Amino acid sequence: MRVLRRRLLFTVLPVVLVLVLRAGGEPPATSIRFSGYLGQSEPGKPLDFIGVNGLAGTKRGCFFWYASKFYRLDAPEKIRMLFRQEGGCRQLLSDGADLWLERPDGKLLKLNRSGTAFEPFADPGAPQGQPAFVPAHLERSGWGKRLKLAVIRENAVIGYDAAGRSVGKVLDLPEAGSFNALGFLPESGELLASTAYPDCRIFRFRADGTPFAWALRRHLFTMIPAGRALFGADTHLQQIPEDFRTNSTRPLTRRDDMFIFGVAPMPGGGYYVGSSQGILRYPEGAALPDARIGGFPGCRALAVNDDGVLLALSSAERGTVFALDAGGESDTPFLSSSNTTSVGLWNSRRYRNGEALAVTAAGGTFYLLNRSRERVELWRFTPADGPAPGDAWKKLPDPPAESTAVAAWNREFFVLAAGRVWQLEGGKFVPFSTDIPVRHLAAAESGLCIAGEDRLIFLRADICTGTFSPYREIPVANVTAVAAEGDRILISKPGALELYSAEDGSLEARLSVSDYAGGPVALCGNWLWTADAAKMAIARFRVERSVR
């Protein structure tokens, strides 16, 4: 039994349900009811997507950077754009009092006193890891007496004073793996330096440069100060305690998200976390966020498996793979770019240079088309395959380079490329005969659905022979996306969602939505979802059958 839910990215204008009358004026037994938005902080009130290139907090508040614009966040409903400045942002850095912006080329700029622009501060050269600023409350003790800024350079730490002038090498780092991040403990002020995979250690140094005799085995991508706390980010965000020799790091987030761009304390306790899914708000002591600021960053494809996991491919950020947790019957689920560890690792590490193009589901398994350099690849992903992220993925033979859609039926695979359907046979894709040029493709347990310019054709599958034969033709035009399940076919078109019976071709239900341009759809059990790229949100609907 599939229990799913989704949020439509439709506007908050009234959603009008149109019951389609059958012959004799009898209303259909099926209707479609709007059920909420996925990943939104307020059901029914989607916000435009807020991306985050950097986020940090000072005594003046929480600030973030997105697309050459600098913002101040006072509350989820109160965001101000302060100014625009070109040049890009690798991250925002804070000492608790002042704010710096690191450019992609490693140059550091400091926010001026009036808060109207970032001005040149220091030029340490191309980044070799994450730099760190001594916390403002520690400037007159320990490392703060020697430097203000620490950067990694050729297996050493180079210091800079409060004016951005180099004070030279202050520490030789151990002969270990490649160092990727620095941080200062907020109480003792001692310096931490972490190494990247596969070494994965955190070294600790006193203010005179002498190291502790041990190093903690821990993998971090970055270290992030936030008020009187220090966080480390790997597959989730974790707080690094002052004495982490015997005390394990304390996780702030339990939902894995491979893209953490900053942390800022909230007034009264708790933290804002800048991530690839917008800005999450974590109350004091909470393991899950209670709000997400921003919507979904565009959507090119949706698919849901039998276990209630929805994959959404973003049309932004090079086709990022997002997994959405349906969350049972709740109306406020959150979305994550790595709801399962494998999804996050697949996108952010193993195929970080790829671009996810299309996705479909069969049973508990997903099949994704991924453009890697000059070719398109087909991958199979089963979330339950095992704890090791790589174990969940299996590469299948490459489809045609023009492939834009994929469908799976009973271990048979089909792709859509340049108006033609191709089927995987004998380790390679061969043409699959259709009577019309094909624009959209979907598969259900009972067969294959193809959509052309002015019609849908349902091809019934013979489970014994694996062959397909035309079974039902449904006149319908302006189709923008198709999903199928069992004997039902869901289509989107400008202004409406329509649910058809593959058995007799009848229109079971129609939902009219103002200003809906049509978008990707997914269907599972009594739930369906669609996305509106213009509104950057995903909406969920419930299919309901009336009792006669």
Q: What pLDDT does 388 receive? A: 40
Instruction: Assess whether pLDDT exceeds 50 at residue 486.
Output: yes
DSSP state of 446: T
Which of the four pLDDT bands, split at 50, 70 and 90, describes residue 63? Answer: very high
Of residues 19 and 532, more confidence is placed in: 532
CA distance to 88, 94, 163, 170, 492, per residue, from 523 (Å):
40, 45, 59, 60, 12
Residue 136 burial by CB count (10 A; 0-12/13-18/19+): exposed, middle or buried?
A: middle
Q: What pLDDT does 525 receive? A: 84
Which of the four pLDDT bands, split at 50, 70 and 90, describes residue 26? Answer: very low
In terms of pTM, does the model score above 0.75?
Answer: no
Which of the four pLDDT bands, split at 50, 70 and 90, describes residue 102? Answer: very high
What is the rounded CA–CA span in Å between residue 422 and residue 424?
7
Q: Where in the chain is the domain with CATH 2.120.10.30?
A: 16-47+295-545, 54-293
Q: What pLDDT does 79 receive? A: 84
Of residues 520 and 177, more confidence is placed in: 520
Instruction: Assess whether pLDDT exceeds 70 at residue 286.
Output: yes
Of residues 24 and 175, more confidence is placed in: 175
Which of the four pLDDT bands, split at 50, 70 and 90, describes residue 181? Answer: very high
Instruction: Assess whether pLDDT exceeds 50 at residue 17.
Output: no
Place of tokens 């310019």: 453
Determine the average pLDDT of the residues in 17-33.
48
Instruction: Assess whether pLDDT exceeds 80 at residue 316.
Output: no
- Count the Cβ atoms, other than its own, within 10 Å of residue 218: 17
Determine the average pLDDT of the residues in 477-496.
93
Of residues 75 and 446, more confidence is placed in: 446
Coil, helix or strand for 314? coil
Contact status, residue 301 vs residue 522, Cβ threshold 8 Å? no
Query: Could you say which architecture CATH assigns to the domain 16-47+295-545?
Result: 6 Propeller (2.120)
Q: What pLDDT does 256 receive? A: 47
| Percent with pLDDT over 70 in the chain | 76
Q: Which of 21-25, 217-221, 462-466, 531-535 is least confident?
A: 21-25
Q: What pLDDT does 107 receive? A: 95
What is the rounded CA–CA span in Å between residue 370 and residue 95?
41
| 258-270 pLDDT per residue, tens | 578 899 999 888 8
Q: Work out the mean pLDDT of the chain and round it to a whole number.
A: 79
Q: Which of 57-71, 123-137, 341-355, 386-400 is least confident?
A: 341-355
b vs e for 187-200, b when ≥16 Cβ sit within 10 Å of the residue's Cβ? ebbbbbbbbbeeeb
Determine the average pLDDT of the residues in 385-401.
67
Q: Which of 19-23, 389-393, 518-522 is least confident?
A: 19-23
Of residues 299 and 9, more confidence is placed in: 299
The CATH topology of domain 54-293 is Neuraminidase (2.120.10)
Closest CA to 297 of 313, 281, 273, 311: 313
